[in-house]
Amino acid sequence: AQTVTQSQPEMSVQEAETVTLSCTYDTSENNYYLFWYKQPPSRQMILVIRQEAYKQQNATENRFSVNFQKAAKSFSLKISDSQLGDTAMYFCAFDSGYALNFGKGTSLLVTP
Amino acid sequence: NAGVTQTPKFQVLKTGQSMTLQCAQDMNHNSMYWYRQDPGMGLRLIYYSASEGTTDKGEVPNGYNVSRLNKREFSLRLESAAPSQTSVYFCASSAGQAIYGYTFGSGTRLTVV
């Protein structure tokens, strides 16, 4: 079974700074998808970014980018120019072929 | 607006009561899912339905049953609620291929007392 590990339960960053959230996963598959989801206090699950394993290039969505290291099975999320609205839980997720497997999440607080 | 609709949004049950959580999607997605979210545990898969007429157990299926009523609707039933089932429940859907992503409902906060 695939497992997803987020080793940082809580993180804090000042507004306008850059923060990196870590995620590692375990799988024997060669082709798969990885996701980062944001969950603000509203509880809604919002897709931040996705990465296809067979693509070498790291995915980028505006201020959000990933550092995908396939050999190391690492998938970290970098948030640049942090904003107060980035305060949320962030979940790393692995697509197992039939559903998403989630990590336990990282609670990110952006302070003024 | 297109998406996944869950009802109810909040519910309080007494131990031993039964209830059904409803979920409907209007995106013509083949696959639907039920997750539960507990503090410090992330989202864990309860049941999923890869297509109309099929259902399969996920990581934490005990105490739950599901019905894929048609392509749009996927319900989750608690036959005899227990305090351990206090959680936030999310329904999600997908076209069946990861590249298309997953769409989540807004969740149901269930408290069993």
* B73: DSSP letter: B
Return the residue of B nearest to A49 by Cα.
B101
From A45, A47, A99, residue closest to B90, measured CB to CB: A45
Residue B72 phi/psi, 5-degree rounding, is: -85, -30
113 residues of chain B, pLDDT tens digit each: 679 999 999 999 999 999 999 999 999 999 999 999 998 889 999 999 999 989 999 999 999 999 998 999 999 999 999 999 999 999 999 987 777 789 999 999 999 99
Each residue's pLDDT tens digit, A85-101 = 999 999 999 997 889 99
Distance from CA of A102 to the nearest CA of B (A): 6
CB proximity list for B41: less than 8 A, separation 6 or greater: A104
Do B92 and A45 lie within an 8 Å CB cutoff? yes
Give the 3-state secondary structure of residue A85: helix
Give the separation between CA B74 and CA B70, rounded to whole angstroms. 8
Each residue's pLDDT tens digit, A6-60 = 999 999 999 999 999 999 999 988 889 999 999 999 999 999 999 999 888 899 9
Do B102 and A52 lie within an 8 Å CB cutoff? no
